[in-house]
Amino acid sequence: MADRSSPPLQRRLFLKAAGSTLALPLLDSLSSSVIAANSAVQAVTAPARPRRLVAIGNLLGFYQPEFFPKAPGKQYEMPRLLQPMATHRQDFTIYSGLDHGVKGGHFAVHSFLSGVLTMDAKGMPEGNISLDQRAAETVGGTTRFPSLTIGSESGIHGGCQMCWTRSGTRVPPISGPRELFRKLFVDEPSDNLAKARDRFRLKGSILDAIHADATSLEKKLNHGDRVKLDEYLTSVRDVEKQLQLGEQWLEVPKPKAPFEEPRNRNMVDDLPLLYDLIALALQTDATKIATLEIGGDFESRYFDIKKGYHALSHHGKVQENIDSLLRLEEYQMKHFARFLTKLKSIEEEEGNLLDSTMVLFGSGMANANAHTNSNLPVILAGGGFEHGSYKALPAKGLNRVPLCNLYLTLLQRFGVKTDRFGTSSGTFV
């Protein structure tokens, strides 16, 4: 029989402080509503040697017969889609046979940098945190931005979904060159600094009060709900760290803008400028980590092609569709090659910017025509690795190598002290 002396359970439960409200996760011992928690990176000591990481993803993959060479090794013949990369042959390695062992077609593309489907995240030690965010945890406040996530909020499945925090929250993208330019080069007006400091202090006091509320609430919860609450408060603590990082950079002037503020057009016309801004972000040390997802408003109509990009990816083996699709993909490869040229042209004390930047390029989609996510297109450039080969790895059987093994190797090279990432089974050999 229920204890009638106890107050009835609330249908919705919140933690409230300073005029703000945070909804709690679903707790079995206290009825409440669900909220997607905001999250940020954890501040950890950065590696002694500067390392940089850039990851570029494509929503719809590449036409495999013109992406993968016919024979592995250093003497491979470049297929059509690799030909724009010819001048960088010794600067990159192309891989086949790598994937995450997931299925789901377009709905599995979001696992490209994490190796884990969102629906499976709760069963993983680090959830579905993506490669970039895991690396960003080691950067802390050493750069103005622990990472930059760039992409579109439009697209066939709701926009950019390549980057994920440890708590499973999608990292919203910077949606155009104008917004990215302002982040990198436009300072807050001086009369806004005091207001900004007040906002940081207010948010900090709100979080302090919420922690006090949560500590009191925890005593009333069963074990399962205490675990849920702890996960939720981990996200809140991440927000606190993000606020602290933002405040410490508030009055540090940004670099002088190298050109006038650009306007946003579309992903096709903006792609070279986005690459240039990423290179500037690395060069000025505004960040050491950046991602770019190509999709959304990367539309075929800007190439005077009637069929849409998504429709062309489902080419049905019709040559006219394939030819049109290859025009779009060649454009992407051309500007990726241009980006590598840009990084290589920027000299540093020890080599050039490409030497110290690991650049991953690929997609969570393998064959869009067949909706498969196995044998993903993957290129690794720069970063001081020995390049110049096509490596065809076993895609099945006991010798199968998970793509997360490559990611684990990149993380360790970046300076992350870990022996696992996603679905890795070891480091990449």
Q: Which long-range contacts (CB under 8 A, 24 or more apart) does 325-331 make?
A: 325/63, 326/63, 326/66, 326/80, 326/81, 327/303, 328/298, 328/300, 328/303, 329/62, 329/63, 329/66, 329/67, 329/81, 330/80, 330/81, 330/84, 331/268, 331/271, 331/303
Q: Scanning the structure block, which residue is given the tokens 């790895």?
A: 393
Which regions of the chain carry the CATH code 3.40.720? Answer: 59-182+267-429
CATH architecture label of 59-182+267-429: 3-Layer(aba) Sandwich (3.40)
The pLDDT of residue 142 is 85
The pLDDT of residue 407 is 98
Contact 228, 32 (CB under 8 A): no
The pLDDT of residue 159 is 65
pLDDT digits (tens, 9 = 90+) for 274-295: 999 999 999 999 999 999 999 8
Longest dimension (CA), the chain: 80
Global pTM? 0.80
The pLDDT of residue 195 is 61
The pLDDT of residue 292 is 97
Q: Scanning the structure block, which residue is given the tokens 């579905």?
A: 128
pLDDT digits (tens, 9 = 90+) for 127-163: 999 999 999 988 877 899 999 999 988 765 556 789 9
The pLDDT of residue 40 is 29
Q: Scanning the structure block, which residue is given the tokens 């891989």?
A: 95
The pLDDT of residue 31 is 40
DSSP bridge pairs for 378: 95, 362
The pLDDT of residue 404 is 97
The pLDDT of residue 205 is 57
Ranges of residues in the chain whose predicted pLDDT is under 70: 1-50, 155-159, 190-212, 227-228, 230-248, 429
